[in-house]
Amino acid sequence: MRTYLAVVDDTPEAEIALRFAARRAAKTGGTVLVLALIEPAEFVAWGGVQATMEEEARQRAEGLVASASGTLLEEAGVRPSILVRQGEPVQVIRELLADNDAIAALVLSAAASGAPGPLVSYFTGADAGKLPCPVMIIPGSLTREAVDRLS
């Protein structure tokens, strides 16, 4: 089954990219794997404080993904798989792509203005030709109607 890997965060453009991925999955008989990333916390001298910070980050990410998955099911009829991972974002995504042959595309979002984010920059950079699947970059300036028309 064709799987679209959509990386989400709390930005408006991530919501646009997720909508695109869900609509493509619905039209192609595929599914969506929603990935929320928790970047490693900087070292804190007190272990309890660091553990609390990491748990709060995980809860925020899980809430974000749960909200997004409800929207996907409601609007596109797609029940996504949900994954929350902690680690360096590029490394986590590269491992997912290497370990999952069903991923047909990596769906990333680009802000409506300004420089591309670190994931877009990396996955469209020097190693882009070595990826096991296409990268779809969804412009954050697209309206919901534009996404629906294009997907």
**28 vs 45: CA distance, rounded Å:** 49
Give the domains, in start order, of the chain with CATH numbers. 3-150 (3.40.50.620)
Which amino acid does the sequence have at 70? G
Instruction: Quote the pLDDT of residue 103.
Output: 97
d(CA 129, CA 134): 9
Q: Are strands 135-139 and 81-86 parallel, antiparallel or unpaired?
A: unpaired
Question: Which is more confidently placed, 22 or 55?
Answer: 22
CA 137, CA 150: separation in Å to the nearest integer? 13
Residue length of the chain: 151
* pTM assigned to the model: 0.83
pLDDT higher than threshold 80 for residue 150: yes
Q: Is pLDDT above 90 for 66?
A: no
